[in-house]
Structure 1
Amino acid sequence: MATPADEGQLINMLIKLINAKNTMEIGVYTGYSLLSTALALPHDGKILAMDVNRQYYEIGLPIIEKAGVAHKIDFREGPALPLLDELIKDESYKGAFDFIFIDADKDNYLNYHKRVIELVKVGGLIGYDNTLWFGSVAYSEDTPMLDFVKYFRTHVLEINKYLANDPRVEICQLPVGDGITLCRRIN
């Protein structure tokens, strides 16, 4: 369930290329992608990190601390949707984030997108993890699949279709890790 190393390197490079300073991560798990982000940010860069389980985050926290980047992370435990709704109510957060990475409950990807699009700046990036979903997005509906793959496949297909038709973003889907879709907000 951890972010693959090649995807972590891609995130790190993207953050440097866009000179990101203020980022968000929804779905932290043990923090590998969080570490990749923190290492790429300048010393005064910030990450608003959200996960429903602080216990998993604390597994990776010693490595984050050893890397000297823990000061960049504002970890919030709990469901992301209520926090995102609170951020949207505060005008100062609209367009405030340079990069947002989403790797949480796939059945909420569309709900996340409808919120984070207001929080990422024009020209900023949103990254959605697992958008190839074990390759299942290319399968026919009657292909035998594990139940969890089949269930989440529906939601991954939904977000992929939505992003392809969202005029506020231009997208690039890469076969890195389990697929990552990058959305550059254009308006």
Structure 2
Amino acid sequence: MATNTQEQQSQAGRHQEVGHKSLLQSDALYQYILETSVYPREPEPMKELRELTAKHPWNLMTTSADEGQFLNMLLKLINAKNTMEIGVYTGYSLLATALAIPDDGKILAMDVNRENYELGLPVIQKAGVAHKIDFKEGPALPVLDQLVEDEKNHGSFDFIFVDADKDNYLNYHKRLIELVKVGGLIGYDNTLWNGSVVAPPDAPLRKYVRYYRDFVMELNKALAVDPRIEICMLPVGDGITLCRRLK
């Protein structure tokens, strides 16, 4: 009979070997979700951008199709209009947002790499939603500090999505909690981090997974006790934690 440690190591190994970003144990079950409810309803521009991104060498950085569908519906449910995205890559989640918000909605989008964003930009333009996006190249923290300095920006964002450098998530949170409105949402992506948050200390993890794991776990602990928000951690994609500002 396997020991608990052996079972944990086996489980961690399964998480590491899964090719997609879902934490579902069964690849077949995940494929069922995609083929039954995601791909048939995926807007054509999002499909085009997803397939374009799949050819990029860093394609694991993209938001999964099921998470894109979730974000699109979530934004419609909360009637989001003024939004922010930190970490854009080729823009799959950005496009999901742009398609969901009204024609006069706005997205402040930030990424350190404009080249990746411009890969997806023609698809975004063809979808007719590029006018909603204000893209800024460079680190997000200086931009956030400028926004926080002006009190008119406090509580002005309906929704903020963070999918960027995990070692700065807590630094982002300190600023974003001032910028999102009371009742608004912040979504932190990758909060289950390849399942590594439950892996034993000696589990064979990829170097980047091991490096960022502690930052992700530190964020999760901080969000769990932050009295200014209520949270919901969902096993969608690589894990997303929704934070609703209370005060």
TM-score by length of 1: 0.99
Q: Residue deviations 1:71-101, cap 9 Å, x none? A: 0000000100000000000111100000000
Q: 2:197 pairs with 137, 140, 154, which one?
A: 137
Shift of 1:141: 2.1
Residue 210 of structure 2 aligns with an amino acid whose one-letter code is K
- Equivalent residue number for residue 232 of structure 2: 172
Q: Residue deviations 1:107-151, cap 9 Å, x none? A: 100000011000000000000010110000111222221211111
Summarize the alignment of residues 29-108 of structure 1 with structure 2, pairs less than 5 Å apart.
29-108=89-168
Which range moves more in the overlay, 144-153 or 21-30?
144-153
Larger Rg: 2
Residue 25 of structure 1 aligns with an amino acid whose one-letter code is E
Q: Choose between structure 1 and 2: higher helix proportion.
A: 2
Number of residues paired by the alignment? Answer: 187
TM-score by length of 2: 0.75
- Equivalent residue number for residue 146 of structure 1: 206
- Equivalent residue number for residue 16 of structure 1: 76
Aligned counterparts of 1:183 and 1:139: Cα–Cα separation in 2? 25
Q: Residue deviations 1:15-38, cap 9 Å, x none? A: 101100000000000000000000
Q: Residue deviations 1:45-87, cap 9 Å, x none? A: 0000000011000000011001100000000001000000000
Residue 126 of structure 1 aligns with an amino acid whose one-letter code is I
Identity of aligned residues (%): 75
Q: Choose between structure 1 and 2: higher strand proportion.
A: 1
Aligned counterparts of 2:168 and 2:207: Cα–Cα separation in 1? 18
- Structure 1 gap ranges (5+): none
CA root-mean-square deviation: 0.6
- Structure 2 gap ranges (5+): 1-60
- Equivalent residue number for residue 118 of structure 1: 178
Structure 1 stretches (4+) deviating beyond 4 angstroms? none
Q: Secondary structure at the residue paired with 2:215?
A: helix
Aligned counterparts of 2:82 and 2:220: Cα–Cα separation in 1? 25
